[in-house]
Amino acid sequence: MKNKSKIFVTLLSLSFALIACDSMYDIHKQYINEDGIIYAAKPYEVKAKAGNNRVIVKMYFISGSNLRKNIIEWNEGADSIVTETNLNAPIDSMEVEIDNIEEGSYIFNTYNLDKDNNRSIKVQIIGKVYGDKYKATLINRAVNSIAKNDTAMVIRWAQPREGDNGVELFFNDASGAQSTYRVAADELETYIESWEREGTMNYITYYLPEEDAVDEFPSEKETLTMAK
């Protein structure tokens, strides 16, 4: 009986060891091809965030702590940027800013090198860069009316255009001091309780060209006459 017990325990231990080995292989087999070549970890998700003559590429990694460099190429490899990496395990992310880049659409290819100089498979992402051409299309949010009620000046706004991220007002209050107020994109009526009667108010509308854009783009400044 003792021998049978020992055999059973031994077999059970071997089974657990084989399961553990299979699990480790499952984790790493995506980085080993049929010829035995080892690939560095690649990001499981990549995002390109649009900006003003710049783009920020954000990458998310699993088991990327052994990576040492990230390379991003564009313009069919004619331009590139190399970034040292220092990722934590088990899950981490990194951002790379590419600035001074002309307005337009780009295909970015990114890959990584690990501590043994193994290279990852390239991951491709399409990103847009905005600049003066986009700015030239922006107009201020329309004002339907400016009037005074018992306690405040009321500005009634037209519906916001696509990408409207808010309006900023610049005016003098009743004492002559300069004031600012940010109007939310979904705000249809704005109430100003202290203002310079029949003074002027400047305003700028800010736009985000994409939901995850990293820069706002201002319209040209416009001037309004405040209520009496």
What ranges do the domains of the chain cover?
31-131, 138-225
DSSP three-state, residue 13: helix
CATH of domain 138-225: 2.60.40.10
pLDDT score at 49? 98
pLDDT value of position 37: 77
The reported pLDDT for the residue numbered 36 is 63
DSSP conformation letters of 182-222: EEPTT--EEEESS--TT-EEEEEEEE-SSTT-S--EE---E
Tens-digit pLDDT profile for residues 105-127: 999 999 999 999 999 999 999 99
Domains 31-131 and 138-225 share a fold: yes
Residue 50: Cβ within 10 Å count: 21
Tokens of 187: 């705000």
Residues of the chain with pLDDT under 70: 1-36
**Of the options 2.60.40.1220, 1.10.3720.10, 3.40.50.720, 2.60.40.10, the CATH number for the domain spanning 31-131:** 2.60.40.10
Nearest CA to 200 out of 170, 177, 174 is that of 170
Q: Cα 63–65–66 angle (5° rounding)?
A: 105
